[in-house]
A and B are shown apart, each in its own frame.
Chain A
Amino acid sequence: MPEANSKIALHTVPPISLRRRVTDHMMTGVAILTVLLVLTPLVAIFGYLVYRGVGSINWAFLTQTPKPVGEAGGGMANAIVGSAFILGIASIFGVPFGVGAGIYLAEFGRNRLGAAIRFTADVLNGVPSIVIGIVAFSIVVIYQKHFSALAGGVALAIMMIPTISRTTEEMLLLVPQALREAAYGLGIPRWRTTLSITLRTATSGVITGIMLAFARVAGETAPLLFTAFGNTFWNLRYDQPTAALPLQIYVYANSPYDDWHRQAWAGSFVLIVLIVSAVSAVRYAVRRGSFGAA
């Protein structure tokens, strides 16, 4: 049948004019041009990062703390560990909270309140990170009277919550209703069903969401400027100023010293390797895992 139709169409539709054909080809060209224009900076940024970064990484960079101003050498070891420390604090607050909110939205949130929370989470996602820094400053730093890893962690936790809760909700909703009903049918209470069956079935998807939130806040600088503040020494106390990789990159990039610029590139390279590997791992896991969500 399709063949017959197309034959009729060929005879009745007037031939496509030259102008229309030229426009068609031109627009294809324009679209390809935009792709090239968009990919150019991406390639340039990655290329430059690898070019400057790989050459600048050495053992000292990964194992030492910064040298005093103007002195060459030293490294960002304390900033790398500090970043992990702040992210750890952020996860302690952000992950249970976000997953809990996600469970609420998926299991109990088919109502007005659920819609309001969903909308709020989306709105929170768009709040500029620097504003969240101000809030963390007002609720933590003011009371502690000095900058601290805890304040930085709180700021990042606030940024993680919307992402985690929305992806958790999405993943839980993918779990077939029949599985829940089967559990209810066996007399298993709702909380047990949610935690041991629904959440467990969706584990890989939920972890994906957590990793994405993690990758997103790992590179954040703005909310740490006046919360974690930075530190040139080792610190693993929650109530003291703490170095973070993005902060250190920012400070070094703004400095007038060539050796610090070199280290800023090295730090960026380390940061981007960590983030891109996290994102790619997530993408791979999602494609491989039981949920074809992406």
Chain B
Amino acid sequence: MPGPQPVEQAKVTSAPGSPVTVLLRTSGGESSDRVFKAAMTACGLGVLGVLVLIVYELISGSGLSWHAFGFKFFAASDWDPVNEHFGALPFIYGTLVSSFLALIIAVPLAVGVAVFTTEMCPKAFRGPLSFFVELLAAIPSVIYGLWAFFVMIPLLTHYVQPFLHKTLGWTTLFDGPSFGLSMLAAGIILAIMIIPIISSITREVLMVVPQHQREAVLALGATRWEMIRIGVLRNARAGIVGGIILGLGRALGETMAVTMVIGNSPQIAKSLFAPGYTLASVLANEFSEATGDIYRSSLIEIGLALFLVTIIVNALAQLLVWTVTRGQPARGNA
């Protein structure tokens, strides 16, 4: 992978005077080597330590709520800080529905973009196009929220929601008044936010599909689309699924943009026009104001649930991406 490197790099380190003698003069013996290795190992272990710390704090912080509610915490649907009854079901529901809605919208678009950039796009556009899509990933969540609140929501209430109600109203998914702040809005903004992740991972995975596969399929007389379908997409399936799951992980934990558009109302409604609430949003809105011990503990338990779900989802995604790109420099052939 490193390949032959330009010679200048070696020169950089040997240019000023005779650094070798300097290095020899100032360097200690083996004991300093051991200290160095220990220090670096400590930093490495620190990464493990951070994860352990997160788990420890979340578990110890949520103990009170766990003892009070047990498993019922995840099955009860009342959230009543005044009477200290806490159930997380509406938040779990909101998180799942908004994230899956986002996936339904994002996956075809993201995969389409990735296929276009790797297989169809003229070489000259390839760089700029992937750069623009990556720019989407660099926009902070709060700016997505701001834009969604002031620009997207009015568009939804005036055009999209009436249209959906008229054409797909019979499914009862698009019932009720269109206030704008809704599960639908959260799903759409999440979709916009996770497209760059899914599409950049899909692109990486598509690029490690060996060129021979494409040539072999073309040699059999396939058209370009057939080549992509049979030679490329089929081989990259596991990796693409990994990218999708990684996007799901991001959507589940996304906080600010969702909080600004979902309406923040702890209810379980069938209609996507109704407001909802997510695990992350309730933390954002209520954590700093949670006064009672059991209230705060319940919120930390929500954090723990969110943490566990995203960890599992991410680990799964990592495994899937690894099975495809393992052993190959995934970004070597950009």
Contact = CB atoms under 8 A, between A and B. Distances in A.
B219 interface: yes
Contacts of B43: 96-101, 103-104, 165
Interface string A191-205: 110101100110000
Interface string A111-125: 001101101111111
Given A128-B253, A161-B50, A24 B226 contact: yes
Contact of A294 (B27, B224, B254, B334): B334
Interface string B237-276: 0000000001001101111100010000000000000000
Q: Chain A CB within 10 Å — which of B9, B10, B47, B144 has the most?
A: B47
Interface string B296-326: 0001100100110011011100100000000
Contact of B40 (A107, A187, A249): A107
A219 B142 contact: yes
A130 B140 contact: no
Interface residues of B, number: 108
Interface string B214-238: 0000011101111010000000000
A173 B1 contact: yes
B286 to A, nearest CB: 10
Contacts, number: 310
B4 to A, nearest CB: 8
A42 interface: yes
Given A124-B51, A137-B287, A196-B23, A290 B6 contact: yes
B112 A31 contact: yes
A191 B115 CA distance: 45
Interface residues of A, number: 114
Given A108-B41, A127-B307, A294-B334, A176 B146 contact: no
A84 interface: no
Contacts of A109: 44
Interface SS of A by simple majority: helix
Interface string A34-70: 1101110110110011000000000000000000000
A126 interface: yes
27 contacts: A20-B223, A31-B120, A39-B132, A45-B144, A97-B43, A103-B43, A104-B41, A122-B318, A123-B311, A123-B318, A126-B250, A126-B314, A131-B310, A133-B283, A135-B53, A161-B50, A191-B33, A192-B23, A196-B13, A201-B9, A215-B138, A221-B142, A222-B280, A265-B146, A268-B146, A290-B8, A293-B331
Closest 7 CB pairs of A and B: A219-B140, A128-B253, A34-B112, A100-B43, A191-B36, A126-B314, A104-B44
Interface of B: 1-2, 4-6, 8-10, 12-13, 19-20, 23-24, 26-30, 32-33, 35-37, 39-48, 50-51, 53-54, 57-58, 61, 108-113, 115-116, 120, 129, 131-136, 138-147, 149-151, 192, 195, 199, 219-221, 223-226, 228, 246, 249-250, 252-256, 260, 280, 283-284, 287-288, 299-300, 303, 306-307, 310-311, 313-315, 318, 331, 334
